[in-house]
């Protein structure tokens, strides 16, 4: 267990732990940027609201995630694999955009669920700051739950796709 918790370890356990910590940092950035942007967007733009606020959070967190992935997360990368190459940067972005699409689809689904059954107005949980409304624990709770689920699904996608296609270890590179 102690070895699993070693953030400096080159093995898979340390890598997964560093990936989760990095994901946590990126998630906080994504969450704050997303809902800050959402709080300024009118509901009248419909589904574009989810697209815009989810993409804004994604874009800011993507930059932080890439930098941390290259310099800290993946320590056991085959030296023949250059994660900083233009090809791998574009692949990182493309895989992340697929994750963004998954995230947007999930948030659109949650908005439909909220509109049909829950009625929490989770997207406006920051309205107490931006619009002077009373803080809603219900909206905040649903926002955290929905965002957390979306983040978990996209986290699994991101780790598996990046590990398989970009940050291959020597063992993985030689088996292909």
pLDDT at 92 over 90: yes
Average pLDDT score, the chain:
86
Distance CA 173, CA 64 (A): 26
Distance CA 130, CA 117 (A): 26
Instruction: Give residue-wise pLDDT tens across range 27-39.
Output: 899 889 998 998 8
Residue 116 vs residues 109, 110, 111: alpha-carbon distances, Å: 11, 10, 8
Per domain, the residue ranges of the chain are 12-174
Whole-number pLDDT of residue 172: 62
Q: Classify residue 134 by its DSSP letter.
A: P
């Amino acid at each position: 267990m102690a070895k699993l918790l070693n953030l400096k370890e080159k093995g898979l356990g340390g890598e997964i732990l560093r990936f989760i910590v990095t994901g946590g940092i990126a998630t906080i950035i994504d969450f704050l940027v997303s809902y800050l942007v959402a709080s300024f967007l009118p509901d009248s733009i419909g589904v574009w609201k989810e697209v815009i606020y989810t993409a804004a959070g994604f874009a800011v967190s993507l930059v932080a995630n890439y930098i941390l992935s290259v310099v800290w997360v993946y320590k056991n990368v085959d030296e023949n694999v250059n994660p900083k190459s233009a090809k791998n940067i574009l692949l990182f972005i493309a895989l992340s955009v697929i994750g963004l699409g998954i995230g947007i689809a999930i948030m659109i689904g949650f908005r439909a669920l909220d509109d049909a059954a829950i009625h929490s107005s989770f997207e406006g949980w920051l309205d107490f700051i931006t619009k002077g409304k009373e803080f809603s624990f219900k909206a905040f709770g649903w926002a955290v739950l929905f965002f957390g689920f979306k983040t978990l699904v996209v986290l699994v996608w991101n780790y598996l796709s990046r590990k398989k296609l970009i940050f291959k270890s020597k063992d993985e590179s030689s088996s292909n």
